[in-house]
C-alpha cells in the first residue's frame, strides 16, 4: 500500500487537484450529515414544535459541520496521517525495546492529554466527585493509562504478540478494577474510553500503528497489525480512571446536589456560535500543539523529510485546524441545545416506545457524521484493498450504535435496568466469539468502539440523552447521562466482530466455490 501523503501530493500538483479532492470529501460528508439533519426536521414536524429560531440555528450548524468536516478530512489526509506514519517509522528505527516502549508511552500521553473531549469529561467527573478528584488529576491519570496501553500496543506489533491475547488481558484487569469501585464511577470510567479517542487522536493513532506495522515483511500480517491501537488506548483510559477511583475513593454526592434547571434556549441567531468560538479556538490549538511539537522535534533530529513533504504536512495541519474549529462551532453552537430540547420534549409528550425508536434512529444517523469514523472506514477499505467495503462497515456501525442508544435509554426509562446488565452480557459475548473472528477484524472491532464515541456523540447524542434524563428523573440527570458513551463504545465492537464472522463465512464459501469450478 502506497502512503496516502504521496498519492495526495501527486494529485495536488495536477491541475484542479485540490478542487477535485475537496469535492470528493464534500460528497462523502454530505452523505454523512444530511441523514441526521433530515431526521431532526421530521421529528420537529411530527412530534415537536420547536422555535423557528432554533431550527434555523440548527440548519446553520449543519452547514458549518459540512464545511468544517470537508476541510478537516482533507487536512487529516495530507497533514496528520503522514505525521503519524513517519512517527511509526521513527519508532522502528530505535535499537532497543525499552526505547520504543518509552517513546510510545510519551507520544500516547501527550496526544491524550491534548484531547478536548477528555477535558470535558474530566470536568464532569470533578463535579460528580464533589471536587475530591480535580479535573487536571483526571486528565493526568487517564492520559497515563492511554500512554501505557499505546506503549503495550506498539510493543505488541514489534514482538508479534496476538492482539486477542492482549485485549483479553487488558479487560481482565479492567473488570478486576470494576469490582473495587462504586457502580456510579464504572460508567464514568468506561465513558473515558470514548473521550480519549477524538477527531484528532484517532487519525494519529491509526497512522502511528500503520507506520510501525508496515515495516513487516508479511504484508497480510501488517494489515492486521495496523488496527487495534485505538482500542487498546481506549482500554487504557478505563484502567486509568478506575485505578484512581479505587485508590482515592472520591465522595459520592447526594441526589439533591445534582438537580439542575430545565433546559434553556439561548437568545440570538448567531450569538451562540460567536460565544463558543474563543473556547473552540483554544481547545483545537491545544489539541494540535503537541502533535506539531513532536513532529518538529522528530523531523529536526531524525526524520529529515524533504522540503516539499514538510510544506505539504504543514498545509494539512492548517486545514485540520480550520476545519475542526468550524466543525466544533457548528456542533456546539447549533446541535447541543436542540438535542437537549428534543430529548426533553419527547420524554414529556411521547411514549417510551417512541423514545426508544427515536433513540435508535438518532444513533444510526449520528454515527455517519463522526469524523473519525470516516477516517477509519477509509483506512480499512484501503488496507484491505477493498475486500472490506465501507458500506459493510457503516451498516455494522450504524446498527451497533443505534442499539447502544436504545439500550442506554432503557436504563433511564426502566428503573430495574442497570448498566452492568449490558456490560457483563456484551463483553461476555465479545470474549466468547473473539476466538472465532479473524485477527484483522479483532483490531477493527475495538478501534471502531473508540471512534464511534466522537464529538457528535459526545455533544448531540449526550445532550439528547441528558434531556430525556432530566424529564424522567431530574435528581439523577448527570448520573443517568453517564453510561451512554460506554454503550456506544461497546456495541460497535460486537457488531464488527459479527461482521468478521460473516466475512469469514463468505470468504470460505467463495473459496469452496472456486475449488469446485477448478475441479470441474
What does R_g of the chain's alpha carbons equal in angstroms?
A: 22
Is 193 among the domain residues? yes
* pLDDT-based confidence at residue 439 (cuts at 50, 70, 90): confident
Is 20 among the domain residues? no
Is 139 among the domain residues? yes
Predicted pLDDT at 194: 80
Buried residues in 398-435 as b, exposed as e (16+ CB within 10 A):
bbbbbbbbbbbbbbbbeeeeebeebbeebbeebeeebe
2: left (phi over 0), alpha (psi -120 to 50) or beta: beta
Report the distance separating Cα 169 and Cα 326, nearest Å. Answer: 40
Burial class of 118 by CB neighbour count within 10 A (0 to 12, 13 to 18, 19+): buried
Predicted pLDDT at 20: 80
pLDDT in tens, 175-208: 999 989 887 788 888 888 887 887 778 888 988 9
Contact 229, 197 (CB under 8 A): no
Residue indicated by cell numbers 468536516: 69
Q: Which residues contact 391 (CB under 8 A, 6 or more apart)?
A: none
Is 31 among the domain residues? no
Predicted pLDDT at 154: 94
* pLDDT-based confidence at residue 355 (cuts at 50, 70, 90): very high
Is 93 among the domain residues? yes
Predicted pLDDT at 216: 67
More confident residue, 474 or 98: 98
Q: What is the DSSP letter of 473?
A: -
Percent of the chain at pLDDT above 90? 33
CA dist 175 → 118, 191, 382, 461 (Å): 22, 15, 35, 27
Is 11 among the domain residues? no
SS3 412: helix
- Total of domains in the chain: 1
Predicted pLDDT at 229: 93
Predicted pLDDT at 358: 94
Domain span holding position 197 = 36-250+270-509
Predicted pLDDT at 354: 93
**Average pLDDT of the chain, as a whole number:** 84
Mean pLDDT of 92-102: 87
* pLDDT-based confidence at residue 3 (cuts at 50, 70, 90): very low
Predicted pLDDT at 165: 93
Mean pLDDT of 339-356: 91
pLDDT in tens, 215-231: 765 666 777 788 899 99
Residue 293 has pLDDT above 80, yes or no: yes
pLDDT in tens, 28-78: 788 878 888 999 999 999 888 888 899 999 999 999 999 998 998 899 888
Predicted pLDDT at 257: 53
Residue 329 has pLDDT above 50, yes or no: yes
Helices (H), 47-162: 52-75, 81-93, 97-113, 116-128, 135-159
Mean pLDDT of 351-363: 93
Contact 286, 110 (CB under 8 A): no
Is 5 among the domain residues? no
Is 1 among the domain residues? no
* pLDDT-based confidence at residue 356 (cuts at 50, 70, 90): very high
Contact 244, 137 (CB under 8 A): yes
Amino acid at each position: 500500500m502506497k502512503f496516502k501523503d504521496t498519492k495526495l501530493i501527486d494529485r495536488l500538483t495536477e491541475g484542479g487537484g485540490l478542487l477535485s479532492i475537496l469535492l470528493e470529501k464534500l460528497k462523502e460528508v454530505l452523505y454523512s450529515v444530511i441523514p441526521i439533519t433530515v431526521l431532526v426536521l421530521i421529528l420537529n414536524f411530527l412530534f415537536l414544535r420547536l422555535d423557528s429560531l432554533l431550527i434555523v440555528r440548527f440548519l446553520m450548524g449543519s452547514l458549518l459541520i459540512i464545511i468544517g468536516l470537508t476541510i478537516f478530512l482533507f487536512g487529516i489526509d495530507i497533514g496528520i496521517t503522514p505525521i503519524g506514519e513517519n512517527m511509526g517509522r521513527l519508532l522502528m528505527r530505535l535499537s532497543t525495546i525499552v526505547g520504543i516502549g518509552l517513546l510510545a508511552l510519551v507520544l500516547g500521553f501527550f496526544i491524550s492529554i491534548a484531547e478536548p473531549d477528555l477535558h470535558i469529561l474530566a470536568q464532569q467527573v470533578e463535579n460528580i466527585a464533589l471536587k475530591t478528584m480535580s479535573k487536571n488529576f483526571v486528565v493526568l491519570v487517564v492520559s497515563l493509562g492511554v500512554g501505557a496501553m499505546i506503549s503495550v500496543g506498539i510493543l505488541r506489533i514489534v514482538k508479534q504478540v496476538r492482539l486477542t491475547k492482549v485485549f483479553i488481558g487488558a479487560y481482565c484487569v479492567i473488570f478486576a478494577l470494576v469490582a473495587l469501585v462504586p457502580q456510579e464511577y464504572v460508567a464514568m470510567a468506561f465513558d473515558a474510553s470514548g473521550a480519549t479517542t477524538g477527531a484528532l487522536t484517532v487519525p494519529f493513532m491509526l497512522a502511528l500503528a500503520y507506520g510501525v506495522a508496515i515495516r513487516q515483511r508479511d504484508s497480510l500480517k501488517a494489515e492486521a497489525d495496523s488496527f487495534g491501537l485505538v482500542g487498546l488506548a481506549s482500554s487504557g483510559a478505563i484502567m486509568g480512571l478506575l485505578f484512581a477511583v479505587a485508590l482515592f475513593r472520591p465522595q459520592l454526592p447526594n441526589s439533591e446536589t445534582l438537580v439542575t434547571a430545565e433546559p434553556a434556549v439561548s437568545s440570538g441567531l448567531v450569538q451562540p456560535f460567536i460565544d463558543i468560538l474563543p473556547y473552540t479556538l483554544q481547545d483545537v490549538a491545544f489539541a494540535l500543539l503537541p502533535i506539531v511539537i513532536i513532529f518538529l522535534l522528530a523531523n529536526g533530529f531524525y526524520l529529515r523529510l524533504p522540503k516539499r513533504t514538510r510544506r505539504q504536512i504543514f498545509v494539512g495541519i492548517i486545514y485540520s485546524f480550520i476545519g475542526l474549529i468550524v466543525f466544533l462551532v457548528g456542533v456546539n453552537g447549533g446541535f447541543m441545545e436542540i438535542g437537549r430540547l428534543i430529548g426533553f420534549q419527547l420524554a414529556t409528550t411521547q411514549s417510551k416506545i417512541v423514545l426508544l425508536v427515536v433513540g435508535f434512529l438518532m444513533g444510526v444517523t449520528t454515527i455517519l457524521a463522526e469524523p473519525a469514523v470516516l477516517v477509519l472506514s477509509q483506512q480499512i477499505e484501503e488496507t484491505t484493498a477493498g475486500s472490506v467495503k465501507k458500506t459493510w462497515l457503516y451498516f455494522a456501525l450504524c446498527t451497533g450504535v443505534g442499539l447502544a442508544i436504545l439500550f442506554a435509554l432503557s436504563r433511564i426509562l426502566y428503573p430495574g435496568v442497570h448498566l452492568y446488565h449490558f456490560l457483563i452480557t456484551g463483553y461476555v459475548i465479545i470474549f466468547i466469539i473473539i476466538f472465532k473472528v479473524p485477527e484483522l477484524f479483532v483490531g477493527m472491532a475495538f478501534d471502531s468502539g473508540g471512534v464511534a464515541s466522537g464529538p457528535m456523540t459526545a455533544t448531540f447524542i449526550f445532550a439528547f440523552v441528558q434531556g430525556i434524563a432530566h424529564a424522567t428523573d431530574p435528581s439523577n440527570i448527570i448520573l443517568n447521562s453517564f453510561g451512554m458513551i460506554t454503550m456506544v463504545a461497546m456495541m460497535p465492537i460486537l457488531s464488527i466482530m459479527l461482521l468478521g464472522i460473516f466475512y469469514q463465512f463468505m470468504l470460505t464459501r467463495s473459496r469452496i466455490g472456486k475449488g469446485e469450478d477448478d475441479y470441474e
